[in-house]
Every structure is written in C-alpha cells, then in structure tokens.
Structure 1
C-alpha cells in the first residue's frame, strides 16, 4: 500500500499532552495525522478537514464535560472510532511500550498494516546499487587458525545473533552482512518487518555480495555457522528442546510480523546468554520490552547509531532501556562483531592462547 492510499488519522482529546503523545506514537508508525484538536475545535471543523480521515482516536480526561461527544462523532463519520485506550504514560516509563503496543494493535485491527514498509521498488533499487561495494573485512588469523583446527565439521553455531530491523532495515543489514568475512563462526536469525510477498526478493538482494548463505527458515532447521535464517512474517517461530525450528499455527503477537520482541524471547528461551541481538533501523519500539529480559540472561544487545539510520525510532527505543552495550553504524557493528568473536575465541582457548585470569 502506498503512502497516498493509507488512511489518515484524526485525534480528538481535551488534553494537549495526550494529543502530543498520540501524535508522536502515530507518526512513528508512518501514519499521517489529518487533524489533532480539542472537542471545541472539532465542533467547528469544516467537512473538508474531516473527509480524508479513516480512523478517529478519542481520548477524554473529563468525559462528563462532553456527554454527547462520542454519539456526535459516531453520527458524523463513517470512519472507525477508537476510544478507551487509556491515558498515555510517560515515554520513559516501563508502561509506555505496552500502551503503544495496545494503540498499534487497535489501529491495525481497524485499518490494517500500520508500518510504511520497505517496498518492492526500494528493494529493487537496493539490488541495483552495485558501485561503492566495500567488500568484507579481513578474518583475523586467530579465527582462521581456530576454524582450521576444528575437525568436527558439525557446523553447529558458536555465536548466535538476532538481526532485528524494520523501516530502512534492508539497506543497513545488507551493509552489515557485506562486511563480514567468509568463515566467521556465527549464525544469524534475521527478523525484518516486511510484507511477506517481498521476503524472497529480500533474501536474494542480501545474498548478492554476502559471504553468508541466506535462506528462509524451514521447519526442522538448526542454527549453523555461515547462515542467515530469515524469520517468517506470517507464523510465529519457536525452537524446540533440540534447538530445531518449529512453527506455530498462529500469527505473531502484536501489530507487526514478525514480532521482534517475541523472536528475542523465543530464541533466548533456548540459547540463554548465547543469544545476542543487533537492532537496526526501524520505526516503533519493537524489541524494547524484551531487551531487559535478555540483558538479565547475559545477552549482548547492540544498536545502530541514529545518524546512520533511515529511521532511528526502534534502535533509540532499545537504547533508552539502558540495555545496549555498543552503538555504531552497520560497518562499525560488523567490525565490532569480528573483534568480539576474536576476543572470545582467545579467552576460550580455541585460539591456542589464554588470557590471564581465565
């Protein structure tokens, strides 16, 4: 759906603060606000101002002062009307992500998919950009030696990272993956908010310059080094006791598919501290609820820097939880991942060396 086809939103509240909070939340998921006003202003609004509105959000702090407002609104429009959402909490509070999710879920039920997703045209443009390819960063010798000395050949993942992304994510994730050298002992689970019809196109685009194998996650898959498994959009993905991928018959919870919060929880539930997360460009706050829980597990949480994002709402929301330990551009994230795996290899003794005190 193009941005011109998306219904506009009307906000009606007697509280300037609530109007501001609603405007911020709705704008973060790519929707346009046609009018935001108090009940007095609404009564004098021109029909031309209201005809483009596809959904109204009504939030009153003093309902007794406007006893006929809901009936008047319902009688004057064929658009959907959402009310009873509750007062928006402060954005820094633990309750804000839950309130925002409740708002997004009700909006999704009323008008369909919320987010201005990366379109097929944007993926085609990304696929056609063949110049200025930086090429992969070098594989440290300590990792190369460790890989050569591993004779088991089972390919089981040594390091597991969830790549979480939304609007602007494909370009950022592609830049990140293109920097990684072949042989790096890591497995990725890629959770991207995107229309399900574009998933196969996206995997082809990302694989074009990457040393990693990109594939759609399949029932029974296990996480292996050198792979990027793309999380399905339609059905929730979980891991069984053996670490094999299974799919539920139900959709992902929440307004987006896949739910990044739920991906994080499902993977960490099996892998614990071995599961780590990078949050790339995107709208909304998906990932902010699960981040503190994963930090408690001992997982690493890194975020893309705001100045390198097409939209920084999602990484900013995760950063605001205080759970992230590294911030950088996609290239800086790639370099830091290589450096981190190198250091962990040394500490584990796989690199034929050990660090003092370990």
Structure 2
C-alpha cells in the first residue's frame, strides 16, 4: 500500500516563541504531518532545516515582523525548501474548533507545497512541462506596447517563479517586478528568476530600452520612469517610502505612461503596498489582478488590493499566467479583425 501524501510531508517549524512552536507542532501532527524539527526564526536554523530531512518549512511570524525582515530576505534567497508563512494564529485566544480548521487548512497547504514543485527551465532551455505556443510572431516581440507590474513581498519569489514558468517565451508583453528585497540580493534574485522563464531578466540602468519579452527588476531606493521612446530613467528616491521598491509608485508610473495597455498583478506579501497603485491604474483603464489568498504564503497585499475594488481576477500564479495568455490572444485577434475592417 502506498503512503498517503500527508505521510510524506516532513515539516520544520520556525518561530521565536517556544510555546507557539509546541502548539503548532501538536496541531500539525494531529493532522497527520511529521514534524522533524522546530527552532527560532534565525538563519542558522532556517538554512539547515534540510539536514533534519524536512521537505517543507513552516514559518510563524509575530509582531516583530519588521525586525525579522532582513532575516526573511536572506532566507528567501538561501533556503532551497518550499516555505509557508503564517501571520500568527495564536496572537489572540482561539477556540479549539477554530484551531482545528486552521490546522486542516495549513496541513493542506504544506502537503501541496511538499509534494509538488513548479517546472524549471534547464540550462538547455528545455522545460519539465512544455510551454504552450499561442502563435505570437517574432515581429511582435519587439514592440514595447503592453507593460505589466508584478508586485510582491514575502512569499513573492516562489509565486513569481510559478507564474513565469507558465508564460510562453513569445508573449508580447514586458514585466517590471517590484519585489521587496534588499539590493544585496538583487543579482541572486535575478539569476533565480531567469531559470524559470524564456524572457530576459535584468536589473536595468538609466537609458535601458524597454521591449517585449523582458523582465526588469526594480531596484530599491530608486524611482523608475519612461520617456516617449520607452527608455528608462532611474533616479535616487527623494521621498522616504515605507516599502522599497515602492509597488504603488511603480504602478502609477507605468499607468501614466501606458494607460489602458498597463496592467498589474499583486502577489503574496505582507502589508498594503500596491493598494493605491491599484486604484490609480484601474482609473486609467488598466487591468489589475491578484494572487488568490489560498495560494499565498502571506495574503495581506492581495487582500488589500482586492479591497480597493480594482481587482478583476484572482487565481493561483499558474492560472494567472494562463489567463494572461488568453487575454493577449483575444487582444491580438481583435486587432487583426480591426485591421481587416479598415
């Protein structure tokens, strides 16, 4: 008899509160998961979780999240295990029935993370699962017309990898990624994303010409803008934004330049960065989507985005990618029909 999926899940729990670690361990074990280790939210434990033969990492955040942000940034870059973040179910007193439901939801997410991985693009450019072709021509790749912002924070790197893995290499679009991450990790983050996409991935410099099939990583503490020819200008940030790079600011700049051809997707993250940008982009005729809460490690940012009323579609990263392919396919067909009429 084959073991169940839950029996294959070996969890390491990271949390600064010993009491919370013990309660989480009990709840997850009641759900049939195997907890192989628990420890503080510190890099020595986080980056060695694999040595305990864990295949998924569960991270409990507390009220000191902002003080832990630097540790989490390093964790997202250094750890190879899939991770699930929780904002602290035990901050308030919870009824036993509520904890049981919470435990069931968390165990389902951990099981899914531990038993499935997104397709990787190998060094030869081949993928574990074929990237579908939707018939976009090579000529269309060069026109810098449609630009979408991909906003993300905690849990964002994993969501972005899942999303980009499902994007065809000929899709006529450019992405600008605003991921809350320190400048010391930009190069590594760029290299990691490039393994999951046929698009070029780079941190731009002033004068860069924006084109389709590009993914530009917005650097922190810099304002990014465009001229009429889609050349980029990068200047040191004048204002002290709460988040850097500012998803709100980037969405507004892209919306101002590209109008109805602009779009944005708000992925996993903590905080409300992107909410103001959603309102601005939507008011200018742009398209706003968000990752669904169930597939997020932290759903605060997508939840704030949805609360603006600007989000027209929510789904897991892979489905967001498939829907974008369909959207651009319809736009292409509509343009062809308009050309035939004219």
TM-score (normalised: structure 2)? 0.65
Q: 1:59-138, aligned counterparts within 5 Å?
A: 115=69, 118-126=72-80, 133=119, 135-138=129-132
Per-residue deviation, residues 41-79 of structure 1 (Å, max 9, x unmatched): xxxxxxxxxxxxxxxxxxxxxxxxxxxxxxxxxxxxxxx
Secondary structure of 1:303's counterpart equals strand
Mark the structure with the bigger radius of gyration: 1
How far off is 1:200 after superposition?
A: 0.8
Structure 2 regions of 5+ residues with no counterpart?
1-13, 17-60, 83-113, 120-127
Query: What are the equivalent positions in structure 2 for 1:42-61 lying under 5 Å apart?
Result: none
| 1:275 Cα offset (Å) | 1.1
Which residue of structure 1 lines up, in the alignment, with residue 97 of structure 2? none
Once residues 112 and 127 of structure 1 are traced to their aligned partners in structure 2, the CA distance between those partners, rounded to angstroms, is 23
Which residue of the partner structure matches residue 234 of structure 1? 221
Match status 1:140 vs 2:134: yes
Counterpart of 1:281 in 2: which secondary structure?
coil
Taking the aligned partners of 2:300 and 2:152, their CA distance within structure 1 comes to 11
User: CA 1:250 to 1:168, structure 2 compared with 1: closer, same or farther past 3 Å?
Assistant: same
Call closer, same or farther: CA 1:154–1:282 in 2, change over 3 Å. Answer: closer
CA contact (8 A) 1:117 1:195 kept: no
Structure 1 residue ranges without an equivalent (≥5)? 5-29, 34-110
CA distance 1:297–1:123, shift in 2 (3 Å):
same
Distance in 1 between residues matched to 2:228 and 2:246, nearest whole Å: 21
Map 1:209-220 → 2, pairs under 5 A = 209-220=196-207
Q: Rate the CA distance shift 1:223–1:239 in 2: closer, same or farther, 3 A.
A: same
Taking the aligned partners of 2:153 and 2:169, their CA distance within structure 1 comes to 26
Counterpart position of 1:69: none
Shift of 1:117: 6.8
Q: 1:306 aligns to what?
A: 293
Given the alignment, which residue of 183, 187, 193 partners 2:170?
Answer: 183
Alpha-carbon deviations, 1:73-107, whole Å to 9, x = none?
xxxxxxxxxxxxxxxxxxxxxxxxxxxxxxxxxxx
**Structure 1 match to 2:55:** none
- The answer to whether the 8 Å contact 1:162/1:277 transfers is yes
Task: State the distance in 1 between where 2:178 and 2:327 align.
Answer: 22
Q: Which residue of 2 aligns with 1:278?
A: 265
CA RMSD of aligned residues (A): 3.1
Q: Give me the whole-angstrom Cα distance separating, in 1, the residues matched to 2:194 and 2:327.
A: 24
Identify the match of residue 269 of structure 1 among 246, 256, 264: 256
Q: In 2, Cα distance between the equivalents of 1:199 and 1:212?
A: 17
- Counterpart secondary structure, 1:289: helix
Q: How many residues align?
A: 246
